[in-house]
Structure 1
Amino acid sequence: AQEYFSVISGHTLKLLPEFLRFFVAMQEFKRHYEPYKERCLRMTQRAALEADPYMAELFQKPARQFIQEKHYERVAADYIGKFSYACTGVSTDQITALDFLNVSMGILVPIHQFRFDEVATRARLGSHFIEDEIVAIDSQPEAISLKGASGNTYLAENIVVATPASVTQKLLGLAEIREACQLYVTHVKAQLKGSLSRYELNLFSPTSEIILTALQWDGSYLLYSRTKEADLNQVCDSFSVLRTVDWEKAMYVMGRAYMEQRLNDRMYIAGDHNGLGLEPTAISGMYAARQILAKN
């Protein structure tokens, strides 16, 4: 049978010693992670990991093993693991300790939202913005040639490939990348079951195909699941579907494959291919930009 409890409850108090061990582990991680991010601005992630054995070990270690070593298994199962599942779509058996701890930071530090203004960005770039689909990349001694689906060919001194991992793999002929999880989002007008209707956000354990329910401003809900045909009656007394979105390759979170950021002196890769999240993505882009600007 499913067990339900809120974040602040008697259940929480019973696990207070484990919560303390979790917070101690997170403080240790933060002391290493902040300098790691700074290093990633000026060197590859591989070099940044090798500079700190603690971080290098986290990249290889399964999250489940880390949790066991730090002795907060019940807190992970009942609380932290559910938050991680909501963020990644997979269990702690399937991700690295580094990704798990990075995601867990969202419990301790503020989470911000931002809106990408596509119109303003296009206007700022002006004639420098070219819209095309690149289907092939060929690095020659004199220049890098990019073939577009339009039939046009573009020449560049330097390029940054900032595409989803599977696209990057195909364009550059990479041997191995991390495996992707699948996420399926259903927007519904619904009456949630029982106590689920009392909360804006409900998180579930990885044994559930339903990952989370999130109340929206208009009273509707977003339901996230890891299977395409998830039975929404598990969480809804009644519902009507407004829209569905399928992400067959949502996030590349499984495995230990490492994607090099610098293929040569002119070709760079940016993205969250080696570490999950928007922040690692942005930092990898800044690293590539700094390397290119340093040549001028």
Structure 2
Amino acid sequence: MGKGYPVRTVLRLCGVPRSSYYYHLKHPERRTPVGKGRPIPGYSYDQAGKVVSDIRIKGYLRCLVKGPHGACGYRKLTILLRRKHKLIINKKKVYRLCKELQILSPQRVIKHPVPKKIAHNRVVTGPNQLWQMDIKYGYVAGKRRHFYLASIIDVFDRNIVSYHKGKTCHTKDILQTLQKALMKRHIHAQAHQLVIRTDNGPQFISQAFHTYCEQQGVEHERIPNQTPNKNAFIESFHSILEMECYRRNCFETYEEAYMEVDRFIRFYNNERLHGSLEDWPPREYLKRVNNGLIDPPKIAL
């Protein structure tokens, strides 16, 4: 220790426990050389307490990978060694042995099929600037089954521009719904680019959806995971739909559910007073904005 400094002071400054310091003084033979860890024992035990050498364990591994478990990784091989050969062994050792045998399965790399463009803050000043799209479940009590409703809402005027309802909701259904919306609003004739915002559902991260948006000149952005507030307008519509349509009806058939959904969306677009639209229905509000009767607001989101 440094001359003139008590041992306790130096140990405290260095953060070394006194018990560890004095233990190593008394047992110098147990000091681990720098750069060397615990030596590999070369064996494991089975559940009966018998020693099983690494050579035998490697034999077990060779037999396993030659059989129907050949595609298993080291983690599942560990489980098989424990169950079939009653070994007491951890996955780290199995990984080391598999590496020595060069039988490690190649790791799967999960790639996103399309690049992800994160939704960012925008200011909406008119229709057909930003749409939001999402999928909601409905329940048919008579069939004890769910149905799907995929809707597109215009953030500016809150119109449900297009929607799909059905027992399934695949990417092709989403594309057809988007195509109807683009044709209905004559998006190809407008000067500015339309942005459509979605979550990260499998239909929206598909290559087909990405390609279609690029072909139509539509910018597709996705909200970050677990941030439904970024899709607040379509989420708000789904809450209204739940309270004013789904909860007020007990559907016995799919046809009954679809008819009621059609009726409610017509009512929502044409008659339901919307507090955020100066108490006008979405379609009437848009008409008044286009006629100059209402100054278009700026919606920041």
TM-score when scaled to structure 1?
A: 0.20
- The TM-score normalised by the length of structure 2 is 0.19
Higher relative contact order (CA 8 A, sep 6+): 1
> Which has the larger strand fraction?
1
